Structure 1
Amino acid sequence: MSDAVKVTRDGDVALIELNEPASRNAFSQDIRDGLRDAAAALTGDATLRAVVLTGTGGVFSAGGDLKAMLRRHKSGEEYSHDTAKARMEALHDWFKQFCALPVPVIAAVDGPAYGAGFGLAMCADIVIASERAEFGASFAKVGAVPDCNLMWSLPRIIGLQKARELFYTARVVGATEAQALGICMEVLPPEAVLPRALEIAGMMQETSQLAFSLTKELTGRALQSDAETMLKLEAEAQAQCLTSEYHINAIGRFTEKKPPKFNFS
């Protein structure tokens, strides 16, 4: 695992930290490689119950590494249409793995989450932000289009018109406005953000991985499916859950007046 991305475990919860604060956790090749390795390591991990994603040094991520891009252009290195597309597709490979993790992903955003960093935060199921958090789709400033799945995720979170406004203007959204728009769920003092994200993740350690994975998969499809399709998917998913060992154990504990394993109170 790259030093640029630290991955630690506390029981069934994985903490992923972008760890190049000198560059404001921009998407350097080392950070890209570290996130790729983290996604690969966590995919298929049957012991995993939740993931917390954050940045170090008071910055979530400044997005694309513009200095590296400029060096690449000035060096005379071949950077054709095909080369640029291949780099994006390589990024998409591990990004899709993050989005498809069958467990809750919680982003603890302190400071800027710009460009690709904004996209990375939006792949989370829950976003907790600090009072100094900022979200910006800054791509238009450098003549680029939103990436890291932001053109899919942001319209679904805040609506198409508002997403287009943020894309077109590239303006920065502060924590209070971000919460009002639904970009983040809670706004807390900087020192409270990561502990709160870890607290929420810890509540999910005794959960049914099957139920959570199916809930995440189906809700991810809800906005592009019709009601009839969702009912069929719901019936199949519920049949799997109601015949699972976890469910049988849970209703047994209920009838015996024992506390549930999963307690999100």
Structure 2
Amino acid sequence: MGIVNELEGLLPGREGQPSDGLPKYERTTFDYVTIGVGYLVMPLGLVLALIRFFGTHYKNYRKAVNYSLLYHVFVGGFVQMMGFLLYSIYSDDGIDVMTLIIMLILFALVLLLPASAFAKRAAKARFRFSQLANQYVQLITVGRVRYIGNLADRTGQSESDVNRDLIYLKKYGVLDSGLLFSEGADTEPEAPVNQADSSPFSSSGGQTVYQPPRPQQQPKSIRCPGCGAQNTVSPLQSKSCDYCGTTVSYS
């Protein structure tokens, strides 16, 4: 059982956004096989990716991975077609330049456009789950919510989704594995300790004085200037694009 710190749920030593501790993509052996097959035999890779998609897409943390699989399969198909064109160019019955250009445009439309769309969906799904994970941690550590039903109501998820998400967050240490949650909803959830002291309308002298809350910067999904893909960037930081390596800054 893990040790709960003063925030009651967040493991000691974790700084920044809680979702920073989650993997970029949690891929299984089946996922790696699918990617490999996609770059070798695109139709078979697509079948495997769709099996994975329809079998696991109901899980919040799998959505980004599933879109990423489809991205790799379509890129793999384009690579295979380029190999076919190169073979045709250097064969005895080589294709002419105009035919080559037409085929390149056709393959780009059929394969690279869907790949780009799936890449954007993967980035958006990663960002949304990161935001959801941060919301879970906020509700659990600050709001002290310990009922699955209350978490479901406040996040807009089903109770089964919340259960799966909490297990996933515990698996990667975002939440303490020793935390226990009750099924259903608490009609009168416990108020946070020192709630009156932390209210923006209270003061130490007992007078009612409005104190505007300080805005807190959140991670944003920013379009890469190089390839246009969406990337999740933490406040006051920069990162390399997940797809082309271009530096994306928080702004």
State the TM-score, normalizing by the size of structure 1: 0.24
The structure with the greater share of residues assigned to strand is: 1
Q: Flag the structure with larger Rg.
A: 2
State the TM-score, normalizing by the size of structure 2: 0.25
